[in-house]
Amino acid sequence: MRIVVVGASLAGVRTVEGLRRRGSDADVVLVAGEPGAADGVAVDRPPLSKAFLASPDAEAAPLTTREKLGALGVELVPGRAVDLDLGARRVGLHGGESVAFDRLVVATGSSPRTVPGLEPVPGVFTLRTAADAAAIRAACTEDARVVVVGGGFIGAEVAWTLRQLGRPVALVEPLPTLMVRGLGPELGAAMTRRHAAAGVDLHLGTSVAGLEGRDRVEGVRLTDGTRLPADVVVLGVGTVPETGWLAGSGLDLRDGVVCDEHLAAVGAEGVHAVGDVARWHHPRYGVDVRVEHWTNAVETAGVVAADLAGERAVHDALPYVWTDQLGGRLQVFGQVRPGDEVRVVSGDLDGSFVAITGGEGQLRGLVGLGAVKQLMPFRRLLLAGAGWDEALAAA
């Protein structure tokens, strides 16, 4: 059995490690194509918008090395995948080489979303790799004026980190509050107030109309007529699954590789997907979902490694995401839907807190800031399928 894992970011690396940990004796190949990385292996990404961005002394070590993979009996093949031939069971690489497989794991992750009107001129950055973070850090000198475009988790993290360094930061978000997709409108509004109190210059409910500057960025024009002076622009407007190399392969590529609850690609024998690129049927919610968070990358890798090692596994984990900002760890468990009721059950929204969210008698989500210990009893209730009244009674 020859198992080929395409993509050496977190999900891909954890998949090959998981195969060996479960005793698989298959031939395992890791195709590594991270841009600008040694041997094509990515670094752990969460610190890139926080500690690594903040400190020139911080190091970004790769998730694994050729030597560590060799000790596991895993062959490392540096290269970028460009096409897939399911009939011939081969992955084509940039440069003309190809890699044969019996089983394939797609782990190519996602790429930063592009924004019309934001041309790739000097001073405009996306944040995906260690090289990106290092370039942003170098550009954010003491007098640099920074504009962050996008008020999701990554944009808010970058804005917070740079404000802690004393940089003037403006943040542009077309929605009325920050992080609304992850937190909902009420909790998003509370976090928005705290970013404003920290000195982030917020421009909400407006979008970027274009850039100013000939040889490098000098300003950002907004659709409401505002002009923001800028020496550095950081784009944090989300990502798209990296599936371009799979076009024409026969895989179902609707917003990722469409999979079943085992993370096996629908209609394609012997193909799985992990991490950001996987869109799977979630048994807990009964719908297809795609999740772009660190925890999901690790969990999907474990499910696929078990499946390939002969231990039939289902990916039904409780969704979880965290972000470090506003002086604490912000954690979200489950699903926070826009119309859900929100009740603070510990602390208050001006300090550390735990909030439960839900509706129709059901507990659906938890959000906490600086309250890791206080969240745990409610997490257990959420895992157990507790109702709304039971969660309130536990407060």
Can you tell me the mean pLDDT for 109-122? Answer: 85
Q: 3-state SS of the chain?
A: CEEEEECCCHHHHHHHHHHHHCCCCCEEEEEECCCCCHHHCCECCHHHHCHHHHCCCCCCCECCCHHHHHHCCEEEEECCEEEEECCCCEEEECCCCEEECCEEEECCCEEECCCCCCCCCCCEEECCCHHHHHHHHHHCCCCCCEEEECCCHHHHHHHHHHHHCCCCEEEEECCCCCCHHHHHHHHHHHHHHHHHHCCCEEEECCCEEEEECCCCCCEEEECCCCEEECCEEEECCCEEECCHHHCCCCCCCCCCEEECCCCEECCCCCEEECHHHEEEEECCCCEEECCCCHHHHHHHHHHHHHHHCCCCCCCCCCCEEEEEECCEEEEEEECCCCCCEEEEEEECCCCCEEEEEEECCEEEEEEEECCHHHHHHHHHHHHCCCEHHHHHHCC
Backbone dihedral region for residue 267 (phi beyond 0: left; psi -120 to 50: alpha; all else: beta): left
Residue 252, exposed/middle/buried by CB under 10 A (0-12, 13-18, 19+)?
Answer: middle
Residue 116 reports pLDDT greater than 80: no
The CB density around residue 207, as the number of other CB atoms within 10 Å, is 17
> What percent of the chain clears pLDDT 90, i.e. is strictly above it?
91
pLDDT tens-digit series, residues 17-49: 999 999 999 999 999 999 888 899 999 999 999
Residues 190 and 298 in one domain: no
Q: In 154-176, which positions are buried (b, 16+ CB within 10 angstroms) versus exposed (e)?
A: bbbbbbbbbbeeebbbbbbbbbe
Domain boundary among 277, 308, 339: 308
Residues 285 and 296 in one domain: yes
Residues 126 and 100 in one domain: no
Residue 117 reports pLDDT greater than 80: no
pTM: 0.95
Residues 139 and 26 in one domain: no
Residues 148 and 223 in one domain: yes
Spatial separation of the C-alpha atoms in residues 195 and 112, rounded to whole Å: 24
Domain boundary among 218, 235, 252: 235
pLDDT tens-digit series, residues 126-155: 999 999 999 999 999 999 999 999 999 999
The pLDDT value given to residue 188: 97
Residue 4 reports pLDDT greater than 80: yes
Residues 208 and 185 in one domain: yes
pLDDT tens-digit series, residues 242-257: 999 999 999 999 999 9
Residues 253 and 289 in one domain: yes
Q: What is the sign, positive or negative, of the torsion defined by CA atoms of 335, 336, 337, 340? A: positive
Strand order in the sheet with 257-259: 257-259, 278-282, 287-289
The pLDDT value given to residue 81: 97
- CATH (domain of 374): 3.30.390.30
Spatial separation of the C-alpha atoms in residues 125 and 186, rounded to whole Å: 30
- CATH (domain of 137): 3.50.50.60
Can you tell me the mean pLDDT for 97-117? Answer: 93
Instruction: Tell whether 70 is covered by a domain.
Output: yes
Can you tell me the mean pLDDT for 232-251? Answer: 96
pLDDT tens-digit series, residues 307-363: 999 999 999 999 999 999 999 999 999 999 888 999 999 999 999 999 999 988 999
The pLDDT value given to residue 358: 95
Is the pLDDT higher at 115 or at 175? 175
342 forms beta bridges with 357
Domain boundary among 235, 253, 288: 235
Alpha-carbon distances of 159 from 25, 132, 145, rounded to whole Å: 46, 16, 12
What's the domain count of the chain? 3
Residue 119 reports pLDDT greater than 80: no
Can you tell me the mean pLDDT for 162-166? Answer: 96
Residues 107 and 123 in one domain: no
Instruction: Tell whether 315 is covered by a domain.
Output: no
Instruction: Tell whether 313 is covered by a domain.
Output: no
Q: Which domain holds residue 373?
A: 327-393
The pLDDT value given to residue 115: 80
Backbone dihedral region for residue 199 (phi beyond 0: left; psi -120 to 50: alpha; all else: beta): left
Question: What backbone phi and psi angles, to 5 degrees, belong to 27?
Answer: -70, 125
Model confidence at 232, pLDDT cuts 50, 70, 90, reads very high
Mean pLDDT of the chain, nearest integer = 95
The pLDDT value given to residue 28: 98
Spatial separation of the C-alpha atoms in residues 299 and 11, rounded to whole Å: 8
Instruction: Tell whether 219 is covered by a domain.
Output: yes
Residues 106 and 137 in one domain: no
> What percent of the chain clears pLDDT 70, i.e. is strictly above it?
100
